[in-house]
Amino acid sequence: MAKKKEFDRLTDLPKEKREDYFERVLLPDDAIFEEAASAKNAKGELALQYVKDTENHLARIIFNSPETKNAIRYEQIPLMIRWIRQAEYDDDVKVLIFEARGEDFGTGFDAGALGYYIGFGDGKSKEGLKRPSQRRRIWPDRDLIFGPSGIESAMANFTKVSIFAAHGYCYGLHMQLLFHGDLAVATEDTLFSHPAWRYLGPIFDYVAAVETMGIKRMKELLFTGGPFTAQMAYDCGMVNKVVPNMKELDKAVNEYAAAVQSRPMDGIVMGKALITMCMESRGQTTGGMGGWIGHPWMTNQVFLPYEYNFTKSRRDQGINNAFEGADMQLPPQFRLSRKNRQKK
């Protein structure tokens, strides 16, 4: 999860400014692309990178914000969609690799923006206590993530080959993208889950999940929140290979890429298009609609008095304490935090 300074980035803004930020993300102009492309991590390096390797006919999208466990900021989504399209239209690129620097592949969206993303206020002031409309909740999920113009659709309909190099935490949107990728390799220490399953419920693109891992294992992951280990992910088809360390991860990914790039470009593109046609017959678009319609419904639920209210805990105790409180309610094997999984 992102550190508190990331949370404060939106909390300290008045509601009008937060809404203006999300409007800019949903209707991106050149300025928002430049802002996302030039954002730096704590070391002053580019936080999100697109690197092309013409000699090996591949490109890489690199998550490079280790200090926030590679949490994705919302303005980075339109940029990643643009880069996916860029790789698709580039005749020098046959393979697009997703990888990350630091201890973790990624923990999904910047957790500090949760709630604000769908129109909630600070939960304290009169204006901040107002509940957002259903239309305000539904549009970001449709246009940024699950819908025809969202990043999941960009991945699902990508006509080149995508390879994911997962390690450490592979949570939230990072795992969602992996589900829509073509090949995936994971180190032995990788954990797979989605934090939203803890504080909202089992919302997802169910079609992608069922097609990937089967309905029983999907239900296990969604209803318990996992996390699945790398071996569990391999056993149910989430990943193609498990390797012991980062060196072997790079080696395996590059070997897969070398095997793919030996194929003719048109053969790859037409093969991927035929796979997309097959997935459409099995409900791919319907699965995405389940995400962008279902998630707003989930955010409008009413908690029973004895249930853990993550949003309220985040408001009152801070985001890190809220995640800790949710995690420690569970048996060790179902906890998301590596540290908490070691506690009795």
Domain 4-341 is in which class? alpha beta
pLDDT of residue 11: 67
Q: Which of 60, 122, 109 is nearest to 86 (CA)?
A: 60
Domain boundaries, the chain: 4-341
Residues 204 and 141 sit within 8 Å (Cβ to Cβ): no
Q: State pLDDT tens for residues 187-231.
A: 999 999 999 888 888 888 889 999 999 999 999 999 998 899 999
pLDDT of residue 204: 82
Q: What b/e readout covers 150-166, taking b as 16+ CB neighbours within 10 angstroms?
A: bbbbbbbbbebbbbbbb
pLDDT of residue 310: 83
Q: Which parts of the chain have pLDDT scores under 70?
A: 1-12, 123
Residues 319 and 107 sit within 8 Å (Cβ to Cβ): no
Residues 267 and 261 sit within 8 Å (Cβ to Cβ): no
pLDDT of residue 4: 39
Is-above-0.95 flag for pTM? no
pLDDT of residue 9: 61
**Cβ burial, residue 127 (10 Å; 0-12/13-18/19+):** exposed
* C-alpha dist (Å) from residue 140 to 26, 149, 312, 337: 7, 11, 22, 28
